[in-house]
Amino acid sequence: GESVGLHLPTLSVQEGDNSIINCAYSNSASDYFIWYKQESGKGPQFIIDIRSNMDKRQGQRVTVLLNKTVKHLSLQIAATQPGDSAVYFCAEGGSGGFKTIFGAGTRLFVKA
């Protein structure tokens, strides 16, 4: 069945370094992917999205890469800051339906 999974539950990086958070999905028909950031005590917040007709999309300090061949996407955060500490979720939407499937999340720790 459909699933969206993450390779690592936690990631620890030094402040100023780049962070890479990975995500795998199983539904090859998925056509829309989103990364959300969830800070403690808050709801998920949109970071960046990408559609299946793209391989890469850049935002402010963030880049999402999509590899449809291996059904994998990643979130890259440049010059990671303490404020980036949070749980990051990848989510899958589309596929002709209106459900959203979330991965289990990766907790990012930023060391000062």
Name which of 65 and 101 has its Cβ closer to another protein: 101
3-state secondary structure of 9: coil
Residue whose C-alpha is closest to residue 29's, from 105, 100, 94, 98 = 94
**CB atoms inside a 10 Å sphere around CB 16:** 12
CB 36 within 8 A of CB 17: no
User: Site for another protein (CB under 8 A): how many residues?
Assistant: 26
Residue 83 CB neighbour total at 10 angstroms: 9
The minimum distance between CB 1 and another protein, in angstroms, equals 10
Collapsing DSSP to helix, strand or coil, 70 comes out as: coil
Among 45, 58, 67, 81, binds another protein (CB under 8 A): 45
Q: Work out how close the CB of 101 gets to another protein at its nearest, in angstroms, rounded to a whole number.
A: 8
| Contact code string over 90-109 relative to another protein, x by CB under 8 A | -x-xxxxxxxxxxxxx----
Site membership for another protein, residue 44 (CB under 8 A): yes
Binding site for another protein (CB under 8 A): 31-32, 34, 36, 41-46, 49, 89, 91, 93-105
